[in-house]
Amino acid sequence: MQIRPYGDTANDGVVQLSFTLPLPLGSRAHEAARRYAMLMGISNPYVAHAESVDTSFSFFVIYGTCSYTLDPEQILVDELAHAELDFYAINDLIEKELGRRVTVIGAAIESDAHTVGIDAIFNAKGFAGNYGLERFPAFRALNLGAQISCEALLRRASAEQAEAILVSQVVTQKNVHIHNLTKLIELAEAEGVRDRYLMIVGGPRISHVFAKELGYDAGFGPGSTAITVASYIAQELVSRKG
Ligand code: B12
């Protein structure tokens, strides 16, 4: 089965995309945006919105038709296979199967100062109708905050006898997240402690497949909630015990 995006009618290939060009807003910038969209394989591009970002930059929203098709059956994905449990089932599973509180430690590492994502997963009050990890009796949840160096995070994880390390990376400019995430894994390997922890990463540009590529056990992207992460940690620790 070949698919294309859906705009006005099924499989018409109609898409909307946005980008910024280093040109002042005007007729030349409009035409440059249209031509650039054509170079990207968009036919009949229409500038639906144009706005000046600064004296020498313009932002465009383009509407047009894309002819490429793909067969979704040919795509193999590495998805987390764990069931989503509820708050009570997670606490029960840990209590019955592990018989101890599980210490989890989290931080936004290195230069990243964004705390809202890691807080959404940790804070007792939670996010999107789910309690955060701090609210689960089965977890001892330590949120170190932002701009924590990889060295400091590993030191604290060891001192607290953590079983899972949860890292947040929001800034992806110039692939800084890849550099930071790789550094943490390499440091853990160099210290011989990589297998001591479930290593988990989350952020707006993170997927499970990408996290695995970087050497993590699991990755969580936009819209993640504590319940999904807690379900994974509980079931994964139980299966590793087995
Ligand atoms: C608030 C904010 C800030 C605040 C942060 C305050 C704070 N205490 O967090 C301040 C003003 C400090 C800031 C600074 C900067 N920011 Co800023 N910021 C934002 C903003 C508006 C919201 C981010 C946010 O809070 N999202 C809400 C949370 C809930 O979503 P989330 O982080 O995606 O988290 C969810 C998932 O990703 C996942 N998740 C996240 N972490 C984790 C971790 C684990 C373990 C798990 C399981 C899941 C998980 O679960 C969360 C809940 O679902 C975004 C734009 C936007 N609208 O997203 C820009 C944005 C992230 N910032 C950006 C930039 C560029 C910067 C600066 C570099 C700007 C500058 N030139 O100074 C600096 C960097 C500072 C630094 N050293 O990191 C860019 C990043 C672009 C990129 N691709 O890299 C964005 C996208 C804005 C943009 N469009 O340009 N920023």
Distance from C-alpha of 69 to C-alpha of 126, rounded to nearest angstrom: 40
Q: Which residues contact 84 (CB under 8 A, 6 or more apart)?
A: 227, 228, 231
Among 3.30.30.60, 3.40.50.10070, 3.40.47.10, 3.40.50.970, what is the CATH number of 14-66? 3.30.30.60
Q: Report the separation in Å between the CA atom of 113 and the middle of ligand 1, taken as the mean of its atom positions.
A: 8
Is residue 174 among the annotated active site residues? no
Whether the CB-CB separation of 52 and 60 falls below 8 Å is answered with no
Q: Which residues contact 184 (CB under 8 A, 6 or more apart)?
A: 109, 150, 153, 154, 165, 167, 199
Rounded (10°) CA dihedral 161, 162, 168, 173: 50
In three-state secondary structure terms, 48 is: strand
Task: Write down the domain spans for the chain.
Answer: 14-66, 87-241
The number of beta carbons lying within 10 Å of the beta carbon of residue 77 is 7
Digits of tens for pLDDT over the chain (242 positions)? Answer: 899 999 999 999 999 999 999 999 999 999 999 999 999 999 999 999 999 999 999 999 999 999 999 999 998 877 888 999 999 999 999 999 999 999 999 999 999 999 999 999 999 998 888 899 999 999 999 999 999 999 999 999 999 999 999 999 999 999 999 999 999 999 999 999 999 999 999 999 999 999 999 999 999 999 999 999 999 999 999 999 86
- The predicted pLDDT at position 126 comes to 86
Residue with the smallest CA separation from ligand 1 atom 50 is: 224
- The predicted pLDDT at position 152 comes to 98
Distance from C-alpha of 143 to C-alpha of 217, rounded to nearest angstrom: 19
Residue with the smallest CA separation from ligand 1 atom 57 is: 204
- The predicted pLDDT at position 176 comes to 95
- The predicted pLDDT at position 161 comes to 98
Q: Report the separation in Å between the CA atom of 222 and the middle of ligand 1, taken as the mean of its atom positions.
A: 11
Extract the tokens encoding 149: 């160096």
CATH number of the domain at 87-241, please?
A: 3.40.50.280
- The predicted pLDDT at position 81 comes to 84
Q: Which atom of ligand 1 is nearest to the CA of 226?
A: 47
Query: Contacts from 73-80 at CB under 8 Å and sequence distance 24+?
Result: 73/1, 77/209, 78/208, 78/209, 78/212, 79/208, 80/208, 80/218, 80/232
Q: Which residues line ligand 1 (CB under 6 A)?
A: 106, 111-118, 120-121, 127, 166-168, 170-173, 200, 202-204, 220-224, 229
